[in-house]
Amino acid sequence: MGSDQDLVNQLVSKLSTAFKIRDLGEPGFFLGIETVKCNDEILLSQQRYMNDILKCAGTAKCKELSTPIFTSKTVVSNTTLYDDPTQYRSLAGALQYLTITRLDLSFAVNQLCQHMHAPTVSHWDQLKRVLRYVKGTVTFDL
């Protein structure tokens, strides 16, 4: 796929001399990423993947937020360990994959992933905040 079809054809021709290649046509939905053609552009969307994450977390009908992290300087920190670290790790990892098309989540998700070894109740609250932000921005694409 590219803007110059002649260059694309040359590249495919060169690759086919070294590898077995077959044309699968226009990309659609692959590895959780959907490609949507709009005029001469292609949008990359993980909307379906985002909805799956929200359903898995039980937050599909949660209240939306406009920011993924707290904007005030006072964040209450709780040192009590979260009782289901496997759930935390699973959702944080799912959010990490989401940053492929949602660069606005990169900082917040990076913060969450730094605590996978021993997530606290405060970290869980931060993760839920990111999920509420995702709920409000589910239509954002790259």
pLDDT at position 73:
64
pLDDT tens for 90-133 read 999 999 999 998 999 999 999 999 999 999 999 999 999 999 99
Strands 41-45 and 29-30, by their bridges, are: unpaired
pTM over 0.85: no
For 6-65, the pLDDT digits (tens) are 998 899 899 999 999 887 777 788 888 898 888 878 888 899 999 999 999 999 999 999
Question: In the prediction, which pLDDT does 142 show?
Answer: 79
Structure tokens at 34: 């959907």
